[in-house]
């Protein structure tokens, strides 16, 4: 299409039929399942943020697939899977994931990775560990000090890779892995800097060998070359031809680098706000944003969580929900649903609809609690504080709702849910200000209630 005005109109029309799926909590809301479900109606599934810190689980006919970098939609034949320039890519992890998919009989040939995506290098993973260790060693034993507490990162090198991108000259990008001259320049510079600033802090201290790093990077580059391209134009071209995209958010709104509970956050824009910079596609006219939230709260890693239940009720939620990290295996902290933070997440994402997941996990509780305000500094507020120091002082104000005794994992329509389960969903809709259009009652594709044709 040569006429730029016509092209822009065509792209806008396709974006109107496109959608975004993003988490409204601290990650692990069940985005993988919802993306897999909604991918059916879209031609491309696009990751725009995060990296291998994400762990998205899809269950198809009893088979469980965990994806970290590869967009969930790739599991549907014929779907284009795009890893945009906003994602930090660990090529070792990506190769391992592609191998695992192929070994499982799945075909990742529809995957494309942006040549502009920053590469997570081995020294970024080391730095992640060193920084966490340093924070742990400085932790004051008797105070919750937001600036000297380990973040509890996934140790995948995410923060240091994004920092390197901001440093610029030493940042390796995916396209550089097949450009030996440029790669050498960047890695020699990076190794020099890391050998001065990071290597002495390693345990035991050791120097980075630029030659070995270059050799490995070139080998990975060769292996990944069929997948690497300029994804912005690819995606734009597809949209201009009338194809549609689903933008798959990683992590969760409360982990957003700018709008989450700093500093206990990740290092990228985790909401639909991040789609533009993370893909190069303007999203002003994006058709729909679906916010995914689980029926209770979980958090993995450190940082305040006002509704955390460090008791038998929390243990029961963890057991019923199998709340153990997809990426790290860590037990997730569990608690009652926090509607104050969910509303914050829905505002950031400008949600059109909610996909409510894990409602089945809440069966069997006599009563259910939802947090409808925070008591902070002697006052009640429904505003989510923007830093961890304030959030750690927030006391939850609860509304108590009736529980439901029946197991609901086999229920197929909203009207067949127990009345208390329906009311629970309706309280969420009213508080968050968006309709619950999807209710998930189990990990499988089939265990999904659709209230409209989303
Ligand atoms: P994501 O990071 O948001 O994609 O979520 P994860 O995959 O890390 O964690 C969600 C977990 O819950 C996975 O093991 C899913 O298979 C599972 N799951 C998804 N939806 C449901 C549901 O409605 N009920 C139950 N019981 N499990 C679910
Ligand atoms: P998905 O996409 C849950 C958390 C980490 C840690 C903080 C920073 O599966 O929902 P990082 O390694 O990103 O520097 O860690 O963010 N975190 C997640 N928690 N789900 C995720 O992704 C997460 N990605 C990062 O536990 O607290
Ligand atoms: Mg996850």
- pLDDT per position as a tens digit, 233-276: 999 999 999 999 999 999 999 999 999 999 999 999 999 999 99
Which residue has its alpha carbon closest to ligand 2 atom 11?
Answer: 153
Residue 147: pLDDT band (50, 70, 90) is low
CATH number of 4-116+230-450: 3.90.170.10
> Does 16 or 452 have the greater pLDDT score?
16
Mutate to test the pocket of ligand 2, among 90, 97, 164, 251 (most ligand atoms within 8 A of CB): 251
pLDDT value at residue 61: 77
Q: Please confirm, yes or no, whether 338 is among the known catalytic residues.
A: no
What is the percentage of the chain residues whose pLDDT exceeds 90? 90
Tell me what the mean pLDDT of segment 332-357 comes to: 98
What confidence tens digit (pLDDT) does each residue in 199-223 have? 999 999 999 999 999 999 999 999 9
What atom in ligand 1 is closest to the CA of residue 58? 16
- HEC string of the chain? CCCHHHHHHHHHHHHHCCEEEEECCCCCCCHHHHHHHHHHHCCEEEECCCCCCCCEEEEECCEEEEECCCCHHHHCCCCEEEECCCCCECHHHHHHHHHHHHHCCCCCCCEEEECCCEECCHHHHHHHHHHHHHHHHHCCCCCCCCCCCCCCCCCCCHHHHHHHHHHCCCCCEHHHHHCHHHHHHHHHHHHHHHHHHCHHHCCCCCCCCHHHHHHHHHHHHHHHHHHEECHHHHHHHHHHCCCCEEEECCCCHHHCCCCCCECCCCCCCCCHHHHHHHHCCCCCCCCEEEEEEECCEEECCCCCCCCECCCHHHHHHHHHHCCECCCCCCECEEECEEHHHHHHHHHHHCCCEEEEECHHHHCCCCEEEEEEEEEECCEEECCCCCEHHHHCCCEEEEEEEECCCCCCCCCCCHHHCCHHHHHHHHHHHHHHCCCEEEEECCCECCCEEECCCC
Residues with CB under 5 A from ligand 3 (ion): 28, 55, 326
Spans of all domains in the chain: 4-116+230-450, 122-226
454 pLDDT higher than 50: no
Catalytic residue among 42, 56, 68, 259: 56
> How far is ligand 3, taken at its centre, from the CA of residue 60, in Å?
17
pLDDT recorded at residue 2: 82
pLDDT at res. 143: 46
Q: What is the mean pLDDT of the segment spanning 101-130?
A: 96
Question: Does residue 390 have its Cβ closer than 6 Å to ligand 2?
Answer: no
Give the pLDDT confidence score for residue 320 in this predicted structure: 97
176 is catalytic: no
Residue 148's pLDDT is 61
Q: Which fold has domain 122-226?
A: Adenylosuccinate Synthetase, subunit A; domain 2 (1.10.300)
User: 22 CB under 6 A from ligand 2?
Assistant: no
Mean pLDDT of the chain: 95
pTM above 0.85, yes or no: yes
What confidence score (pLDDT) does residue 141 get?
54
Does the pLDDT of residue 145 top 70, yes or no? no
54 C-beta closer than 6 A to ligand 2 = yes
């Amino acid at each position: 299409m040569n006429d730029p005005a016509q092209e822009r109109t065509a792209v806008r029309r396709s974006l109107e039929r496109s959608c975004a799926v993003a988490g409204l909590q601290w990650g692990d809301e069940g985005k993988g399942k919802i993306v897999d479900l909604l991918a059916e109606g879209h031609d491309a599934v696009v990751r725009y943020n995060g990296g291998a810190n994400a762990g998205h689980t899809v269950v198809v006919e009893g088979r469980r697939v965990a994806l970290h970098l590869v967009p969930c939609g790739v599991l549907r034949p014929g779907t284009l899977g795009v890893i945009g320039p906003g994602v930090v890519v660990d090529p070792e992890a990506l190769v391992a994931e592609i191998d695992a998919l192929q070994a499982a009989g799945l075909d990742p040939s529809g995957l494309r990775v942006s040549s502009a995506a920053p590469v997570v290098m081995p020294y970024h993973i080391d730095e992640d560990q060193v920084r966490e260790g340093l924070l742990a060693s400085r932790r004051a034993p008797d105070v919750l000090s937001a600036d000297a507490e380990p973040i509890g990162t996934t140790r995948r090198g995410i923060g240091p890779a994004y920092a390197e991108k901001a440093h610029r000259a030493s940042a390796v990008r995916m396209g550089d892995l097949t450009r030996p001259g440029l790669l050498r320049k960047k890695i020699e510079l990076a190794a020099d800097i890391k050998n001065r600033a990071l290597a002495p802090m390693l345990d035991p201290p050791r120097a980075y060998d630029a030659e070995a790093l270059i050799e490995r990077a070139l080998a990975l580059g060769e292996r990944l070359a069929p997948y690497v391209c300029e994804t912005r134009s690819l995606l734009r071209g597809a949209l201009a031809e009338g194809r549609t995209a689903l933008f798959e958010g990683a992590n969760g709104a409360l982990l957003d680098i700018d709008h989450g509970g700093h500093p206990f956050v990740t290092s990228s824009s985790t909401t639909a706000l991040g789609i533009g910079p993370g893909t190069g596609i303007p999203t002003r006219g994006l058709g729909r944003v679906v916010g995914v939230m689980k029926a209770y709260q979980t958090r993995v890693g450190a940082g305040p969580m006002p509704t955390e239940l460090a008791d038998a009720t929390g243990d029961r939620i963890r057991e019923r929900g199998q709340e153990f990290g997809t990426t790290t295996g860590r037990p997730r902290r569990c608690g009652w649903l926090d509607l104050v933070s969910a509303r914050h997440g829905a505002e950031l994402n400008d949600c059109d609809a909610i996909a409510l997941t894990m409602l089945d996990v809440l069966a069997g509780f006599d009563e259910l609690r939802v947090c409808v305000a925070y008591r902070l500094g002697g006052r009640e507020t429904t505003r989510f504080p923007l830093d961890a120091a304030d959030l750690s002082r927030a006391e939850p104000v609860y509304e108590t709702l009736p529980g439901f005794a029946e197991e609901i994992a086999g229920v197929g329509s909203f009207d067949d849910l127990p009345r208390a389960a329906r009311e629970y969903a309706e309280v969420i809709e009213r508080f968050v200000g968006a309709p619950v259009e999807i209710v998930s009652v189990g990990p499988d594709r089939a265990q999904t209630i659709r209230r409209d044709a989303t």
